[in-house]
Amino acid sequence: MDKIEHIGIAVKDLETSNLLFQRLLGTAHYKIEEVASEGVRTSFFKVGNQKIELLEALVAESPIAKFIAQRGEGIHHIAFSVKDIIAEVKRLSSEGFVVLNEKPMRGADNKWVVFLHPKGVNGVLVELCQDIPQAEVE
């Protein structure tokens, strides 16, 4: 794994949370994006070389809505940048980690993403991220 790519934070109201984090970080968000497949709307803040991703549920069945219903707002996941997501999934599977989606799916911010089950990572949902090549984005 290359680096921490971002920390995902589940929020009830994206606009309110954007204002809160703008005051906290001293900078405005740089992007809002919907990920229809996950039923979320996201907002990104730059913090040095890392990012904070705020996630708001768009539908009651989304993973973020379920997370907030069970645990309330707060840190939802930590994401790591990888160069080869397929190879990393194979490596982690061979190490006994439970991969929630073996096939990478499109996530926010032009990334391929895969999640590891939190039960195998001390209760932390881990996301692996790989940049989608520009040719595949368009």
The pLDDT assigned to 65 comes to: 96
Measure CA 93 to chain center. Answer: 20
Residue 102 is predicted with a pLDDT of 83
pLDDT at position 137? 54
Order of strands across the sheet that contains 31-35? 31-35, 40-47, 50-57, 3-11, 74-81, 126-131, 111-116, 105-107
Structure confidence at residue 138 (pLDDT): 55
pLDDT for 133 equals 82
Report the C-alpha gap between 132 and 55 in whole angstroms.
21
Which pLDDT value is given to residue 37?
87
pLDDT (0 to 100) of residue 92? 95
pLDDT at 57: 97
Chain CA centroid to CA 62, Å: 13
Cα torsion angle, 137, 104, 49, 63, sign: positive
Rg of the chain over CA atoms, in angstroms? 15
Sign of CA dihedral 62, 64, 67, 73: negative
What's the pLDDT tens digit per position in 90-128? 999 999 999 999 899 999 889 999 999 999 999 999 999
- Spell out, as residue ranges, where the chain has pLDDT lower than 50: none
Full-prediction pTM beyond 0.75? yes
Predicted local distance difference test score (pLDDT) of residue 40:
95
Type and span of the H or E element at 128:
strand 126-131
Helix, strand or coil, per DSSP, at residue 15: helix
